[in-house]
Structure 1
Amino acid sequence: MKSKSELRVAIIGGGIGGAATAVALQREGIRADIYEQAPVIKEVGAGVGLRPPTVHFFKNWGIYEEIEKKSSKSDFMQVVACNGDVLVSERWPLLTDNPEGKWARLIHRADLIETFLNQLPSDSIHLSHRLESITDQGDHAEILFENGHSIEADLVIGADGIRSTIRSKLFSDTKPIYSGTHAYRAIVNDKEAFELVLDHTFKVFVDGGIQIYILPLHHRNQVSFDVTLQSKDPSWRPIVEKKDIVKHLKNFDTKIQKIAENVEEYTCRSIYDIDSIERWHSNCVTLLGDAAHAMLHHTGQGIQDAGVLAEALREADSIPEALQTFQARRKPVTDKYQELSRQEPSIESETAFPEKGHFEKA
């Protein structure tokens, strides 16, 4: 393998997984260039929970203190009936060997990506670069972008999401699978929203096939509000009026109905995932994050992928060896999370954490 300073590494996609990978590789002395199709990286999405196995990497990368300032520590998650009755209240599962690790840090997706990008040289981030074609030459790959720019790289990391062009061209023609649900997301600062989550408990309110995820972002004086409803419309970005969202919430606590009515604008998305694919990598190209194992929402694994890939490159004598190690370590974990992510919270739920029986430490 070339020396770390000589490696040409291209990351396709500047979302959470891609940006985290660039930071992880930088800590190993490897420069990686990010190629993002959007013309600007802006504040989108909602709140996410960071578990101790993920935070472990932040400490290794030297960014934990910054993440801590932009997040809140949560000790509990609850499943709550639409009338406010608490059905399940649990500590976050222990996923590391540290018995104190029964928590999550709650953060806005935009703050997380901003933290990653702030660690990187500005000239390593290339916007308005939509991938047109990729050619795997065995020991390197050639990439052409729609804007006419072309590059060669010793390692290409496909972090280009659930509709990954790299996956479809090189590894699998598996298609995204529609879950039959839409997510309507907003960030709110209503007083009523704070009253629902006075502490840092992440709550999921349920009524039949409806789930409302309320994730407190007290460090921002905001709350992440996510309404998930069943729908026959598989459009990636459905056009839905607020009144058509609110009408489904008539059985919910009046505070929730008021929050939903007061939201100025929802981000509307159909929820998709993919089935597990057999192989993520060649000798010089690998998939990562949603491109490799897209899951239903609230169950991403891209940051941990980034950390393990960086470790594999540190330990291996060649890129092919590193990519084999990366998939061997990550695929059993992500396969299980993909399966578990399809279990929606409901009034019958016995646990807030389907992964508890598979990954919790004794």
Structure 2
Amino acid sequence: MLEPQCHQTRLGISMKSLVLIFLFSLLMYGASGVETDVVESVSVIVGDYFTLHSDVTQIQKDGVIEWRFGGDLIGRINDNLALVNDNEKFRDRVHLDDQTGDLKIRNIRITDFGLYKLEINGGRGISTRKFNVSGVDNLTSDGVKLVPVLERDSVVLPSGLTEIQRDDQITWKFEGTLLGQLKNLTAEIFADVLDGRFVDRLQLNQQTGSLIITNVRPITSGLYKVDITKSGSRYTTHKTFSVTSIDGGNKLSVMEGTSVTLESGVSEIYRDDVIMWRCEHGDSVIAKISYGNFAPSEGTDGRFRGTLELDNKTGSLTIRNIRTKHAGLYHLDITGNRRTIFKRFNISVCPRCWSPWVLLAMCLPVVVGADIVIHIIHHLITIRRQKASRTSDKVV
């Protein structure tokens, strides 16, 4: 009667052994790095950069890493020496990190879209990883987006994202110096770098990760770079913007006591639009529209008291009974989910006490040239002297 129990016991031990052997084999199968069918999708825009991560923190001395595209070798790391295949397709656009094995491709083209394969041969066997790169064409991009901005205006450098996930990481740099980052939906700005040139000039949109630069000056012109790593992904996309400040703007010349309207340029205001008018005097907000609420201001020193009218349909600003104290730069900022607009107006005010001769002297150089104006003024003065001389002779 005991023999069947022993047989069952032996059978149970045998089954356990088989399970253990199976699990051990499975672990060894995985450890050997046998290729899997998992392919990570990478979405980019033509002209941008991207980095495919190997997830290796330090390459072993005898380790070998190879990157291939469509079966063709792109680059290899052997004995910590990175070698990039010198082919016409990726010429001068590929960088291979000799410490981590990460692959970076600059100024991506449509012909770069396809399947990339990483193979790591280390002490624990061979492991592989695949990335399927696809994206959107952008015929105007050459890798660096040129952004001309009127001096003292503001500009938005877009991340290209519509909504940020919790584990997304976004980093902004200027000429290699960290300006701001967004991690765990928390934005952090480092405006005190580079002698404080960015103090009170930077904002980081926590919904999209876009960088807003206000009051652009020549010292803030240069290359801005954003690195974006999506949550759970093994790749990073990069965008580069070349910001240049230029002199100019909408110049308006008006007579004291008249009215002037600064046009917003939009035909209607959306519900989520925030429209803000600022004046260079203390850079103060003098009018604002936010979620249907209209609020003209008097300015920090009251100089606009009773003079401002705000159009509730277009957001245009009218200054009534304008005075010389109202001359200067005016900024318009329109921000919302559908658009971002920045405009600048330079207003000069001519005092009423100026004679027509002074106004003529101011306007004519622009039209006919300074030499001709000098000749005209000299001729008018001669005529006036002759009239005065004749009047004097009659009196005598």
Q: TM-score, normalised by structure 2?
A: 0.22
Highest CA radius of gyration, 1 or 2? 2
Q: TM-score, normalised by structure 1?
A: 0.23
Q: Which has the higher strand share?
A: 2
